Structure 1
């Protein structure tokens, strides 16, 4: 067997079952539980406008590593040893990157930048090599991606060498470029832009992988809330706030999984333009959902550790802003998936806006309870509306 024929076995076959996540992929996701715990803990311990900006950039970086790896595992057969080994190497690098996260803008800047760059470049080159001799268009597509990853990696490395202000500028530019180049189909000189719909994607698999990442984020929220509840059990409001936090997490699960995730999977699987739909629904569409869950976890931390405080803009931004961002992300995904416009989510966002105004006169625990009620109203409204619509169609 030639090397090219051997590499063809690394690629998912057209007729293979592609809709289910494999065990190596689930194993890989465990790294990001640790990364998200690191990030939310860092935010909760020092939440200012500066640290919020730093965390936003780091969340963008973590998501970009994960979603690009998901695209690769959608195309390659993770049951093959070479692909598994690639995932295990990425796992180890991801753990090191997560360790560096709390000081990514400090003394661990170079470690974070170097590991991030190595993960992005290494994965892209490996995938290009896997397709070489088997699928020329896909191989060239990942060559384009590799070129862009090398270019932005220079910005990450130079940013790590710069002072703090320069680091923010260079890293911000790097992540902005990385998020923008898929929109121009990874255009590079001489090679041009990648043809539309080059890659043979499995939409249902992408939908499931993103749904699993949402579960990871929700699970991280429960873990963080439970840990903080133990630390602040002496407070009179701890149990009530903990119950509120748990209910809000369940409400977010319901809002995402009851209707939206299924419609996104159907849209991605049945479309004639899987790449464009995958970018809209998953690469970009799920980002505010993930950000909103992480920010909600930070807000629940504040509700437990600073339950009696009031008027803190940073606390309000997390307690109210997290659920609002989550609802806005769900609006994006559900509208893109072809669902009816979720008026319930707009009502939830409007309620949260009103809560944010009133929150400056309320203690954090009360603001958190109100935010949970807003999420519950959005979830119940959508549930009742969908039941009525289903009954009307059956009738």
Structure 2
């Protein structure tokens, strides 16, 4: 038992730092995100979008459950590092299979994914059984849900692509339902979110690092493609627009959302619930939006002054809107008073209007991409001005309707929680 104790982090530790082995582990998922992005680029269409969505959700689910694991375990210990490296190797196999996952490499993808989820979870059960028995029992239920989904993953890999899509959709649906029903199983019962309490700062930092991974993938694609194509006015402007869009996304997530999320999860009595809602689920549309927007950037760089196809409009404006909707949900979950940020709501309306314009006016990809980047920048500037005393400290006027909405939100929040502070809900 003493040997297992040293493999587990101190559950009472207030701040758990991210270990270098975790950063090294994330490198595989830079590759995985790139693979999903390229898959979507080469399979534009309704079926390809669903296929890419399933592959992305599998990648995210494998990464996020490993992030939970390293939150509980001590990565400085050799046995834990060995587990991380084994998951890393299986993740490499899974990622390498993505381009042909709905073809001849489906079985490689399925076996790698099932091995990641079941192997890591059962290893955690073994470690925690005598150290944190309630957590061990919860993890045994988690493993049970992965056992339920495994036949769909493996069976789907053995059939044709159309049926594979249905079976893999069923597999991912089973796994995503698990946390929502507290991993309830016959005989074993159900867990509670308090059973799997986490270090809030560590979970927030790990999720933020994955956002960096996703944004970095977009920068890599832009830089690699820009270095290969002919440099002219259109391509240079397209590269600048792609970079500006990435910066705006970074600002929208990190300037307010990330820091407020850390503070919220660290001070919440049920950190497991916050980690599930805010970081396991709410981050899905954020990362997905970044990936889809990166696909649009690549398309824009290749043909900046051509005709904006419906696929490009969907990726460019849809990716930005998906990212914005995800950050809005994340900020709602991690804010006192559970109120929606007005800047994001208005931004989503503007994205909808921009989509109508793009379909009717037949603009160039560069024009559509510029609008998407500008709308994200507007939301970033608006939110910055609503926090840190941004407008007030600099003597800038606050629009009347913004102030009235902020006052209304503060009144609603105060009715729910007397501890609400004005700067916390004006975004």
TM-score class, shorter-chain normalisation, is over 0.9
Q: CA deviation at 1:354?
A: 1.5
- RMSD between aligned alpha carbons? 1.6
Structure 2 gap segments, 5+ residues each: 394-421
* 1:92-103 map, 5 Å: 92-103=89-100
Question: Counterparts of 1:312 and 1:49 in 2: how far apart (Å)?
Answer: 14
Matched, 1:66 2:63: yes
Contact 1:18 1:74 in 2 (8 A): no
8 A contact 1:225–1:245 mirrored in 2: yes
Q: Is the contact made by 2:16 and 2:202 (CA closer than 8 Å) also made in structure 1?
A: yes
- Find the aligned partners of 2:138 and 2:391 in 1 and give their Cα distance: 43
User: Counterpart in 1 of 2:296?
Assistant: 299
- Asked if 1:198 corresponds to 2:184, the answer is no
Shift of 1:8: 1.3
Asked if structure 2 preserves the Cα contact closer than 8 Å seen for 1:19 and 1:208, the reply is no
| Structure 2 residue corresponding to 1:52, chosen from 19, 36, 49 | 49
> What's 1:381 paired with?
382
Q: Quick check: 2:290–2:320 contact (8 Å CA) kept in 1?
A: yes
Q: CA deviation at 1:161?
A: 0.8
Give the superposition deviation at 1:308: 2.9
Q: Deviations over 1:9-67 (max 9, x none)?
A: 11101354643111111110000001111121222233222111110111100000011
Residue of structure 2 equivalent to 1:335: 332
Of the three residues 54, 72, 77, the one matched with 2:74 is 77
Is the contact made by 2:299 and 2:312 (CA closer than 8 Å) also made in structure 1?
yes
**In structure 2, what is the Cα distance between the partners aligned to 1:151 and 1:213?**
28
Pair 1:208 & 2:209 matched: no
The alpha carbon displacement at 1:353 in A equals 1.2
1:1-395 pair list within 5 angstroms: 4-16=1-13, 18-338=15-335, 341-360=340-359, 361-388=362-389, 391=392
- CA distance in 1 between counterparts of 2:12 and 2:389 reads 39
- Deviation at 1:231? 2.9
Task: Give 1:254 shift.
Answer: 0.6
Q: Which deviates more, 61-70 or 342-351?
A: 342-351
Q: How big is the shift at 1:362?
A: 0.4
- Per-residue deviation at 1:230? 2.2
What TM-score do the two structures reach when normalised by structure 1?
Answer: 0.95
- State the Cα distance separating 1:96 from its structure 2 match: 1.1
Scaled by the length of structure 2, the TM-score of the pair is 0.88
CA distance in 1, matches of 2:2, 2:112: 32
| Deviation by residue 1:78-98 (Cα, 9 ceiling, x = unmatched) | 111111000001111111111
Q: Distance in 2 between matches of 1:20 and 1:293?
A: 26
**How far 1:388 sits from its partner (Å)?**
3.9
Q: Is the 8 A contact 2:197 2:270 kept in 1?
A: no
The superposition leaves residues 168-206 of structure 1 with CA deviations (integer Å, 9 ceiling, x where unpaired) of 111001001100111111111111111441123111110
Q: Is the 8 A contact 1:7 1:130 kept in 2?
A: yes
Using the alignment, how far apart are the partners of 2:155 and 2:295 within structure 1? 31
**Deviation for aligned residue 1:390:** 8.2
CA contact (8 A) 1:310 1:359 kept: no
Rounded Cα–Cα distance in structure 1 between residues aligned with 2:233 and 2:391: 44
